[in-house]
Amino acid sequence: QVQLVESGGGSVQAGESLRLSCAASKSSYSSGCMGWFRQAPGKEREGVATIDSGGTTSYADSVKGRFTISKDNTKNTLYLQMNTLKAEDSAMYYCAAEFTYGYPSDRLNPQRWNYWGQGTQVTVSS
C-alpha cells in the first residue's frame, strides 16, 4: 500500500500557472511509474501525464506544450507544472502510482493504475 497526497490546486485566471505536488509515502512507488489524471464534473477520469522510472514522459494531446510532469525521487514527490491554463483544464486532479500492465501507450488509461490520491481541485476562470 502507498499513500498519495496531492496539493497545490486552486482558483486562477486563464493564462496563469499552477504547480501540483503529490507526496508518496513509499519511495518504491514514487521511483516507479506515476501519473496525473483529472476528472471534471459529469465526465470520465482522463489521463493527463505520466512519467516512468527512467524519466520517459507521456502527455494527453490537450496539454502538450503547456504541462510538464516531473518527479524528485529524493523527496518521493511527483509534480505537474501547468502553464497557460484554460477554462477546460478545470477539474479535480489526481495522482496515481503503480501502473499495472500494458504498453507505454496504455499509461494514460486510468483503469491501469492501482493507487490514487484524494485529489486537488483546479478551477480556471476565463
pLDDT one digit per residue (tens) for the chain, 126 residues: 889 999 999 999 999 999 999 999 987 776 789 999 999 999 999 999 999 999 999 999 999 999 999 999 999 999 999 999 999 999 999 999 998 888 888 999 999 999 999 999 999 999
pLDDT of residue 55: 93
pLDDT given at position 48: 98
Can you read off the three cell numbers belonging to residue 81? 507544472
Reading the block at residue 36, the C-alpha cell is 496525473
